[in-house]
């Protein structure tokens, strides 16, 4: 059993919902000393400092990581490569780097390749936050009970993997290892596709008559909640998981066509079978 890790200096790159919540959780569990925030908006960083989420902040990314023992990338995934390129030469030997990004795959290999000698990167993806964003929604218990996928590669350092895993475990995530490419394949299906569909469904109302949204009930509200998610974030996720997303879109299209065709052909018996197939699988999940 590994010793409980402690990081004298932690740097959060991108102080939004996940970065701020992680900061609160690390401090709450006694895993961190001083926490430094880096971000694009000084006023956001100032507010985070005043709210006691971070201890200090830098508006120079490289300067923000100089003393850091642990660096966590919490910007939208589209900015990871740029952020890592900016900080790589400032990273301290022995530092650990991880992230909270929703895409892995090639991104993990790319970040790994940008790490200087003696700095180790392990990718992680805590499934938390949902459609919320921003530090006002930050909570130290955001990760409690959430699944966190850790995506080691053949290059991963075993000790670094143990330490990163134990951080997530200590803030009460259910940790699971997964190949970074398999990760993107799985999440294209269960997370990225539903977002695209929710956006398309709301746009359908917009195309027909936006005012009709006022007649929607709990079903529409639930099924489109994720359409309130950040367009910028989901543009980036779509971009970095493009091929998997195109594949699952094809399978979705086929499944929607099976249902449409039943309605078109008035095959009500088969339509009920399609609905029952979905109901049965969906009942396997909790509400």
Choice between 50 and 211, CB closer to its own copies: 211
CB neighbour list of residue 33: distance below 8 Å, 6 or more residues apart: 6, 7, 8, 9, 10
**CA 176 to centroid of chain Cα atoms:** 15
Among 68, 90, 173, 202, binds its own copies (CB under 8 A): 202
Q: How far apart are CA 96 and CA 70, in angstroms?
A: 5
Considering only residues 40, 41, 106, 225, which one is a binding residue for its own copies as defined by CB under 8 A? 225
Instruction: Return the residues of window 46-105 that contact its own copies according to CB under 8 A.
Output: none
Among residues 110 and 250, whose Cβ is nearest to its own copies? 250
* Residue 192: burial class (beta carbons within 10 Å; 0-12, 13-18, 19+): buried
CB atoms within 10 A of CB 20: 28
d(CA 132, CA 129): 6
**Sites for its own copies among residues 134-153 (CB under 8 A):** 146-147, 149
Contacts with its own copies, 5-34, as mask; x by CB under 8 A: ------------------------------
Chain positions 109 to 128 lying near its own copies, rule: CB under 8 A, are 127-128
3-state secondary structure of 48: helix
Q: Is 218 in the site for its own copies (CB under 8 A)?
A: yes
Site for its own copies in 245-274 (CB under 8 A): 245-246, 248-249, 251-256, 258-260, 262-264, 266, 268, 271-274
Piece of 55-63, 65-73, 83-91, 197-205 that binds its own copies (CB under 8 A): 197-205
Q: Which is nearer to its own copies, 52 or 210 (CB)?
A: 210
Which residue, among 31, 30, 49, has the nearest Cα to 39 in the 3D structure?
A: 49
- Minimum CB distance to its own copies, residue 124 (Å): 15
**Could you say whether residue 197 binds its own copies (CB under 8 A)?**
yes
CA 37 → CA 10, 205, 273, distances in Å?
Answer: 9, 40, 53
Residue in 2, 4, 51, 200 binding its own copies, rule: CB under 8 A: 200
**How far is residue 235 from each of residues 41, 107, 127, 238, measured CA to CA in Å?**
21, 15, 18, 5
């Amino acid at each position: 059993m590994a010793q409980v890790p402690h990081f004298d200096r932690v740097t959060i790159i991108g102080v939004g919902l996940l970065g701020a919540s992680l900061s609160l959780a690390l401090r709450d569990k006694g895993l961190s000393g001083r926490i430094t925030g880096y971000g694009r908006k000084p006023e956001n960083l100032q507010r985070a400092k005043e709210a006691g989420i971070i201890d200090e902040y830098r508006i120079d990314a490289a300067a923000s990581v100089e003393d850091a023992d642990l660096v966590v990338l919490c910007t939208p995934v589209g900015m990871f490569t740029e952020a890592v390129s900016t900080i790589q030469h400032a990273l301290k030997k022995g530092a650990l780097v991880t992230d909270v990004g929703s895409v892995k795959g090639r991104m993990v290999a790319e970040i790994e390749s940008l790490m200087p000698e003696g700095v180790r990167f392990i990718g992680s993806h805590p499934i938390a936050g949902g459609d919320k964003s921003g530090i006002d929604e930050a909570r130290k218990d955001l990760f409690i009970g959430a699944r966190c996928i850790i995506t080691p590669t053949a290059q991963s350092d075993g000790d670094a993997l143990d330490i990163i895993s134990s951080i997530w475990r200590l803030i009460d995530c259910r940790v699971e290892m997964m190949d970074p490419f398999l990760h993107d394949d799985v999440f294209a299906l269960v997370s990225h596709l539903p977002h695209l569909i929710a956006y398309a469904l709301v746009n359908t109302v917009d195309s027909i008559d936006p005012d009709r949204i006022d007649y929607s009930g709990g079903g529409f509200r639930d099924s489109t909640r994720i359409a309130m998610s950040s367009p910028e974030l989901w543009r980036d996720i779509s971009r970095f998981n493009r091929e998997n997303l195109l594949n699952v879109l094809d399978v979705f299209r086929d499944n929607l066509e099976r249902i449409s065709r039943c309605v078109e052909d008035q095959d009500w018996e088969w339509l009920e079978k399609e609905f029952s197939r979905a109901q049965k699988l969906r009942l396997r999940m909790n509400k």
